[in-house]
């Protein structure tokens, strides 16, 4: 069992979800726990090999969106087009089985309801090559390039919780910054067009824009620092990795 991840959150309350966070000292593996003011409790867990079935249940037959299976940022355009669907699913399963921990899962009770991808920026081949999202400097940043939230849970603050947990994951791995690429647009966009997150969520959680080469796609960073360095919080929880 790896050392515990101490996670802290500023915006834990969600519409129709628990509003009180507490620390879980049980032996239930990698999880952040919201003690229920009313059920269901929300937990955030690392996508470990034993949770592959939960990934499948959340992503469904469509692989979250268009047969992606969270491979878009890991592949060139040619590779992605050739791999849509079953090949991407197999690639993603291999990554999870290898213990890479490509992201985090959010649960409502026992039901997987949300996903965030978070790894070192270098793990995302397409991101490295993207002209509009070029590396700002040589810092070994981690990136959060995509979210997927189950339809019934959208618009209830779950992406914010996932983003905060992703920051803690990156911080515990020694990353100096967590980088994101949210959409900043006043236009009404469908969910499929804001899978990298929305600008307001990142701003609320303390991310700052460092460069913008596309009108609606800023590069934003959160300085992680040591544990407790950014203590603008009212609640605390615990994230542990198995």
Q: Could you tell me the CATH number of the domain that includes residue 28? A: 3.40.630.30
pLDDT of res. 28 = 38
- CB 121, CB 141: distance < 8 Å: yes
- Which of the two residues, 235 and 70, has the higher pLDDT score? 70
> Is residue 42 in a domain?
yes
> Is residue 186 in a domain?
yes
Q: Give the confidence band of 2 by pLDDT, cuts at 50, 70, 90.
A: very low
> Is residue 150 in a domain?
yes
> Is residue 232 in a domain?
no
Which tokens is 61 given?
């037959």
> Is residue 200 in a domain?
yes
Least confident of 34-43, 51-60, 81-90, 203-212: 34-43
Q: Containing domain of residue 20, as a range?
A: 4-226
Is pLDDT above 50 for 177? yes
**In angstroms, rounded to a whole number, what is the distance separating the alpha carbons of residues 212 and 133?**
8
Phi then psi dihedrals of residue 59, to 5 deg: -75, -30
Domain count, the chain: 1
pLDDT digits (tens, 9 = 90+) for 211-238: 999 888 999 999 998 654 443 322 322 3
pLDDT of res. 192 = 66
DSSP string, the chain: -PPEEEEEES----TTS--------SS--S-EE---SSSPPEEEEE--GGGHHHHHHHHTTTTTTTT-TT-GGGS-HHHHHHHTTHHHHHHHHHHHHTT---EEEEEETTEEEEEEEEEEGGG-HHHHH-STT--SSS---EEEEEEEE-GGGTTTTHHHHHHHHHHHHHHHTT-SEEEE--B--SS---GGG-TT-BHHHHHHTT-EEEEEEETTEEEEEEE--STTSS---SEEEEEE--
Give the mean pLDDT of 57-82. 87
> Is residue 238 in a domain?
no
> Is residue 242 in a domain?
no
Mean of the per-residue pLDDT values for the chain? 78
> Is residue 240 in a domain?
no
Closest CA to 114 of 72, 190, 166, 181: 166
Geometric angle at alpha carbon 113, from 179 and 196, rounded to 5°: 25
Geometric angle at alpha carbon 84, from 78 and 87, rounded to 5°: 100
Its pTM stands at: 0.79
């Amino acid at each position: 069992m790896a050392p515990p991840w101490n996670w802290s959150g500023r915006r834990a309350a969600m519409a129709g979800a628990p509003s009180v966070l507490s620390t879980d000292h049980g032996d239930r593996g990698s999880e952040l726990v919201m003690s229920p003011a009313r059920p269901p409790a929300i937990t955030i867990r690392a996508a470990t090999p034993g949770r592959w079935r939960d990934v499948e249940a959340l992503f469904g037959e469509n692989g979250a969106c268009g047969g992606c299976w969270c491979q878009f940022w890991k592949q060139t355009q040619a590779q992605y087009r050739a791999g849509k669907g079953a090949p991407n699913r197999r690639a993603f399963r291999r990554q999870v089985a290898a213990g890479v921990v490509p992201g985090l899962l959010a649960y409502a009770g026992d039901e997987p309801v949300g996903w965030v991808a978070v790894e070192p920026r270098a793990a995302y081949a397409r991101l490295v090559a993207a002209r509009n999202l070029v590396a700002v400097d040589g810092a070994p940043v981690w990136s959060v390039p995509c979210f997927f939230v189950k339809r019934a849970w959208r618009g209830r603050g779950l992406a914010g919780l996932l983003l905060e947990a992703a920051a803690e994951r990156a911080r515990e791995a020694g990353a100096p910054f967590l980088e994101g690429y949210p959409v900043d647009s006043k236009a009404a966009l469908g969910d499929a067009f804001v899978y990298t997150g929305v600008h307001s969520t990142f701003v609320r959680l303390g991310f700052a824009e460092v460069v913008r080469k596309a009108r609606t796609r800023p590069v934003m960073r959160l300085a992680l620092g040591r544990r407790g360095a950014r203590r603008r919080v009212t609640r605390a929880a615990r994230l542990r990795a198995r």
